[in-house]
Structure 1
Amino acid sequence: MNSTQCYHCGDSCNDSLITFDDKSFCCNGCKTVYEIFSENDLTCYYNFQDNPGAIPSEIKGKYDFLDSKEIAAKLLDFSDGDIEIVSLYIPHIHCSSCIWVLENLHKLNEHVSASQVDFPKKKVRVTYNSAKTTIKEIVLLLSAIGYEPYISLEDYESGKKAVDRSLIYKLGIAGFAFGNVMFLSFPEYFEVDGFWIEKYKNIFRWLMFFFSLPVVFYAGKDYFISAYKGLRSKILNIDVPIALGISVLFIRSSVEIIFDLGTGFFDSLTGLVFFLLLGKFFQQKTYNFLSFERDYKSYFPIAVTKITKDNQEETVQIYDVEKGDRLLIRNEELIPVDGILINGNADIDYSFVTGEAEAVSKKSGDKLFAGGKQLSGSIEMEVLASVSQSYLTQLWSNDVFQKEPKSHFKTITDRISKNFTIAVLAIAFIATLFWLFIDVNKALNVFTAVLIIACPCAIALAAPFTLGNMLRIFGKQKFYLKNATVIEQLAKIDTIIFDKTGTLTTHKENTISYDGTALNTLEKRILKSALRSSNHPLSRTLYNTFSKLDSVPISKYDEFVGKGIVATYNNEILKLGSSNFVLNSSESSNLDTAIYISFNGVYKGKFTFKNSYRKGVKGLFKSLKDKFSLSVVSGDNEGEKLYLEQNLPRETTLLFNQKPEDKLNVIAQLQKENKKVAMIGDGLNDAGALAQSDVGIALSENINVFSPACDGILDASKFSKIATFINASKKAIKIIKYSFLLSLCYNLIGLGFAITGNLMPVIAAILMPLSSISIVIFTTISTNILGKKIK
Structure 2
Amino acid sequence: MVTTNCFHCGNEINKKDEVVFDEKKFCCTGCKTVYEIFSQNDLTCYYDFQASPGATPQDINGKYEFLDDEKIIDKLLEFQEDTTHIVSLYIPHIHCSSCIWILENLQKLKEGIGTSQVNFPEKKVRITFNSEQTSLKEIVYLLSSIGYEPYISLENFDEGKKKVDRSLIYKIGIAFFCFGNIMLLSFPEYFEVEEFWINQYRGFFRWLIFALALPSFIYSASGYYVSAWKSIKSGLLNIDIPIALGIVVMFLRSTVDIIFDFGQGFFDSMTGLIFFMLLGKLFQQKTYDFLSFERDYKSYFPIAITKLLPNGEEIAVQVYDIEKGDRLLIRNQELIPVDGILISEKASIDYSFVTGEAVPIEKKSGDKLYAGGKQQGKVIEMEVLFSVSQSYLTQLWSNDVFQKKVNQHHKTITDKISRYFTPALLALAFLSFFYWIFIDTATAFNVFTAILIVACPCALALTAPFTLGNVLRIMGNRKFYLKNALVVEQLAQVDTLVFDKTGTITTNKKTAIVYEGETLTSNELQLLKNTLRGSNHPLSRRLYDFLPEFERMNVDEFEEVIGKGIFAKFDTNDVKLGSSSFVKNLNESTHKKTKVHVEINGIYKGSYVFNNQYRKGLEQLFESLAKEYDLVVLSGDNDGERAILTKMLPSKTTLVFNQKPEQKLAYIEQLQQKGKNVMMIGDGLNDAGALAQSNVGLSISENVNVFSPACDGIMDASQFDKIGFFMKYSKNAMKTIYMSFGLSILYNIVGLSYAVTGNLSPLVAAIIMPLSTITIVSFVTIMSNYYARNKK
Q: TM-score band, normalised by the shorter chain?
A: over 0.9
2:254 alignment partner in structure 1: 253
**TM superposition score normalised by structure 2:** 0.98
The 1-side partners of 2:705 and 2:544 are apart by 16
Deviates more, 1:304-313 or 1:189-198: 189-198
For residues 302-357 of structure 1, the C-alpha deviation after alignment (integer angstroms, 9 at most, x for no partner) is 11111121222221111111111111110000000011111154221111111112
Deviates more, 1:146-155 or 1:667-676: 146-155
Q: CA deviation at 1:258?
A: 2.9
2:744 alignment partner in structure 1: 743
2:82 alignment partner in structure 1: 81
Deviates more, 1:431-440 or 1:543-552: 543-552
1:755 alignment partner in structure 2: 756
Alignment of structure 1 residues 655-694 onto 2, 5 Å: 655-694=656-695
CA contact (8 A) 2:300 2:714 kept: no
The 2-side partners of 1:589 and 1:267 are apart by 89
Match for 2:8: what amino acid?
H
CA contact (8 A) 1:481 1:711 kept: yes
- SS of 1:533's equivalent? coil
Match for 2:21: what amino acid?
F
Deviates more, 1:768-777 or 1:515-524: 515-524
2:5 alignment partner in structure 1: 5
Deviates more, 1:294-303 or 1:708-717: 294-303
For residues 165-190 of structure 1, the C-alpha deviation after alignment (integer angstroms, 9 at most, x for no partner) is 22222111111211111111111111
Alignment of structure 1 residues 109-258 onto 2, 5 Å: 109-258=110-259
Q: CA deviation at 1:286?
A: 2.4
1:776 alignment partner in structure 2: 777
Q: Percent identity?
A: 62
CA contact (8 A) 2:49 2:97 kept: yes
For residues 732-754 of structure 1, the C-alpha deviation after alignment (integer angstroms, 9 at most, x for no partner) is 10111111111111111111111
Q: CA deviation at 1:790?
A: 4.8
Match for 2:165: what amino acid?
D
Q: CA deviation at 1:586?
A: 7.4
The 1-side partners of 2:121 and 2:750 are apart by 36
Match for 2:467: what amino acid?
T
2:462 alignment partner in structure 1: 461
Alignment of structure 1 residues 298-697 onto 2, 5 Å: 298-585=299-586, 587-697=588-698
Match for 2:87: what amino acid?
V
- SS of 2:45's equivalent? helix
CA contact (8 A) 2:329 2:380 kept: yes
CA contact (8 A) 1:337 1:383 kept: yes
1:65 equivalent to 2:66? Answer yes
2:91 alignment partner in structure 1: 90
Deviates more, 1:450-459 or 1:685-694: 450-459
- SS of 2:86's equivalent? strand
The 2-side partners of 1:99 and 1:196 are apart by 60
- SS of 1:488's equivalent? helix
Match for 1:92: what amino acid?
H
- SS of 1:356's equivalent? coil
Q: CA deviation at 1:782?
A: 0.5
CA contact (8 A) 1:84 1:127 kept: yes
Q: CA deviation at 1:406?
A: 4.2
CA contact (8 A) 1:688 1:709 kept: yes
- SS of 1:574's equivalent? strand
Match for 1:167: what amino acid?
L
CA contact (8 A) 2:697 2:711 kept: yes
1:29 equivalent to 2:18? Answer no
The 1-side partners of 2:317 and 2:340 are apart by 17
CA contact (8 A) 1:528 1:546 kept: yes
CA contact (8 A) 1:187 1:196 kept: no
CA contact (8 A) 1:496 1:631 kept: yes
Classify 1:441/1:555 alpha carbon distance in 2 versus 1 (closer, same or farther; 3 Å): same
What runs of 5+ residues in structure 1 fail to find an aligned partner? none
Deviates more, 1:670-679 or 1:397-406: 397-406
CA contact (8 A) 2:508 2:702 kept: no
**TM superposition score normalised by structure 1:** 0.98
CA contact (8 A) 2:297 2:394 kept: no
1:273 equivalent to 2:274? Answer yes
For residues 680-701 of structure 1, the C-alpha deviation after alignment (integer angstroms, 9 at most, x for no partner) is 0111111000000000000000
CA contact (8 A) 1:345 1:377 kept: no
The 1-side partners of 2:719 and 2:376 are apart by 30
- SS of 1:678's equivalent? strand
The 2-side partners of 1:374 and 1:199 are apart by 86
- SS of 2:533's equivalent? helix
Classify 1:753/1:3 alpha carbon distance in 2 versus 1 (closer, same or farther; 3 Å): closer
The 2-side partners of 1:688 and 1:586 are apart by 32
1:713 alignment partner in structure 2: 714
For residues 514-555 of structure 1, the C-alpha deviation after alignment (integer angstroms, 9 at most, x for no partner) is 112222232222211110110001111111233520121111
CA contact (8 A) 1:13 1:25 kept: no
What runs of 5+ residues in structure 2 fail to find an aligned partner? none
The 1-side partners of 2:16 and 2:471 are apart by 58
Match for 1:105: what amino acid?
L
The 2-side partners of 1:636 and 1:586 are apart by 18
The 1-side partners of 2:415 and 2:604 are apart by 65
CA contact (8 A) 2:300 2:483 kept: no
Classify 1:559/1:344 alpha carbon distance in 2 versus 1 (closer, same or farther; 3 Å): farther
The 1-side partners of 2:14 and 2:125 are apart by 31
The 2-side partners of 1:26 and 1:572 are apart by 76
Q: CA deviation at 1:593?
A: 0.9
Q: CA RMSD in A?
A: 1.5
Match for 1:9: what amino acid?
C
The 2-side partners of 1:737 and 1:258 are apart by 49
Q: CA deviation at 1:589?
A: 2.2
Match for 2:720: what amino acid?
F
For residues 224-269 of structure 1, the C-alpha deviation after alignment (integer angstroms, 9 at most, x for no partner) is 1111111211111111111111111111112222333321100110
Deviates more, 1:645-654 or 1:593-602: 593-602
CA contact (8 A) 2:585 2:604 kept: no
Deviates more, 1:491-500 or 1:300-309: 300-309
Match for 2:131: what amino acid?
S
CA contact (8 A) 1:350 1:371 kept: yes
Match for 2:199: what amino acid?
E
The 1-side partners of 2:219 and 2:493 are apart by 45
The 1-side partners of 2:72 and 2:111 are apart by 25
CA contact (8 A) 1:238 1:417 kept: yes
CA contact (8 A) 1:13 1:24 kept: no
Q: CA deviation at 1:679?
A: 0.3
- SS of 2:323's equivalent? coil
The 1-side partners of 2:77 and 2:209 are apart by 53
For residues 428-482 of structure 1, the C-alpha deviation after alignment (integer angstroms, 9 at most, x for no partner) is 1111111112222211111111111112221111111110100010000000001
The 1-side partners of 2:310 and 2:372 are apart by 26
The 2-side partners of 1:406 and 1:746 are apart by 29
- SS of 1:77's equivalent? strand
Match for 2:616: what amino acid?
K
- SS of 2:80's equivalent? strand
